[in-house]
Amino acid sequence: MRHLMSPLDFTVEELEKLFCLAVEMEKDPDKYAHLCDRKKLATLFYEPSTRTRLSFETAMLNLGGSVIGFADASSSSVSKGESVADTIRVISCFADIAAMRHPKEGAPMVAAANSSIPVINAGDGGHQHPTQTLTDLLTIRALKGHLGNMTVGLCGDLKFGRTVHSLINALVRYEGIRFVFISPEELKVPDYITDMLKEKNIPYEEVIRLEDRIGDLDLLYMTRVQKERFFNEEDYIRLKDFYILDKAKMELAPEKMLVLHPLPRVNEISVDVDDDPRAVYFKQVQYGMYVRMALIATLLELV
């Protein structure tokens, strides 16, 4: 039995297989419409989510399966003090596969260690968000045609943004990746990530102004300042609108640069960018659903 805790749990070859399956599912949904008949997915969300939870649930429904779970820990036995280990033991009796989001780093790993069904990490604190990374990689692969040889700009909250940490971890396995980290001093990418890049000899730069480097990017990954992970509101208020990608900045960007964002967006991308063909964050949501379909089918060993 396999779980998905980090994007590195799959080899590059296994990821390629997963992406091919996701593309096939998009092309021929009828072929997969009953793959998960009588199977159940449990979504255990201890932290707010719209897209990720509904994406998982829609993915399972598209495969003919059904869904149980909670979207708010206060409405479950967690509010009575139940541990993650006990919750997953119980859920293992009801469902065939589970997706868990938790504010504490490592909670899905505790669940996996106590589970008799596959567990998917749907985001743990500021740590990892592997299915968002699968979404991001599938989007890049589909719209750029390849995953290596590009300059990737990541902009915004690089300190607390778990999607950023997972994506960097995953991209370093492809040839010819260069990173430009664009953030205020307070929200720089953690040292454990830059140490890993140094060790692997992967080129990266850290800059503050988006305008200075937007012209060199093949891909710009915008992120929201992660309000819920700040220790004081003053800092959040000071930093929240540090970057706003607007039409004027897009004029400085290459014609083929893609703009991705895991969503939800707050102010960091002005709505007048949405019509720009380079803005692909809503397409990204669609790819997310297909890649989760492929992931569920793979972890349930139905393909």
35 vs 44, which CB is nearer to ligand NCD?
Answer: 44
Shortest distance in whole angstroms from residue 75 CB to ligand NCD: 20
- Exposed / middle / buried, residue 195 (Cβ in 10 Å: 0-12, 13-18, 19+): exposed
Contact, 210 vs 252, CB < 8 A?
no
CB atoms inside a 10 Å sphere around CB 232 = 8
Shortest distance in whole angstroms from residue 74 CB to ligand NCD: 19
Name which position in 99, 158, 182, 263 contacts ligand NCD (CB under 6 A).
263
The distance from CA 199 to its chain's CA centroid, rounded to whole angstroms, is: 24
115 vs 132, which CB is nearer to ligand NCD?
Answer: 132
The distance from CA 159 to its chain's CA centroid, rounded to whole angstroms, is: 15
How many chain residues are in contact with ligand NCD, going by CB under 6 A?
Answer: 11
Q: Which residues of 262-296 are buried (b: 16+ CB within 10 A; e: fewer)?
A: bbebeebbeeebeebebbbbeebbbbbbbbbbbbb
Shortest distance in whole angstroms from residue 73 CB to ligand NCD: 15
Contact, 65 vs 36, CB < 8 A?
yes
Name which position in 43, 52, 62, 87 contacts ligand NCD (CB under 6 A).
52
- 123 touching ligand NCD, by CB under 6 A: yes
Name which position in 166, 224, 291, 300 contacts ligand NCD (CB under 6 A).
224
- Per DSSP, 273 falls in state G
- 167 touching ligand NCD, by CB under 6 A: no
From the list 5, 261, 16, the residue with the least C-alpha distance to 108 is 5
Pick the stretch among 36-44, 81-89, 233-241, 257-265 that binds ligand NCD (CB under 6 A).
257-265
Pick the stretch among 88-96, 171-179, 192-200, 260-268 that binds ligand NCD (CB under 6 A).
260-268
Shortest distance in whole angstroms from residue 212 CB to ligand NCD: 24
- 129 touching ligand NCD, by CB under 6 A: yes
- 165 touching ligand NCD, by CB under 6 A: no
From the list 274, 243, 46, the residue with the least C-alpha distance to 158 is 243
- 132 touching ligand NCD, by CB under 6 A: yes
Shortest distance in whole angstroms from residue 122 CB to ligand NCD: 8
Shortest distance in whole angstroms from residue 226 CB to ligand NCD: 6
Pick the stretch among 23-31, 65-73, 75-83, 256-264 that binds ligand NCD (CB under 6 A).
256-264
Name which position in 2, 17, 51, 173 contacts ligand NCD (CB under 6 A).
51
In whole angstroms, give the CA distance from residue 172 to residue 152.
11
Letter for the amino acid at 126? G
- 162 touching ligand NCD, by CB under 6 A: yes
Residues 256, 148, 181, 167, CA torsion sign? positive
- 102 touching ligand NCD, by CB under 6 A: no
Contact, 260 vs 236, CB < 8 A?
no
- DSSP class per residue in 215-237: GG-SEEEE----GGG-S-HHHHH
Name which position in 65, 118, 125, 262 contacts ligand NCD (CB under 6 A).
262
Q: Which residues bind ligand NCD (CB under 6 A)?
A: 51-52, 123, 129, 132, 162-163, 224, 262-264
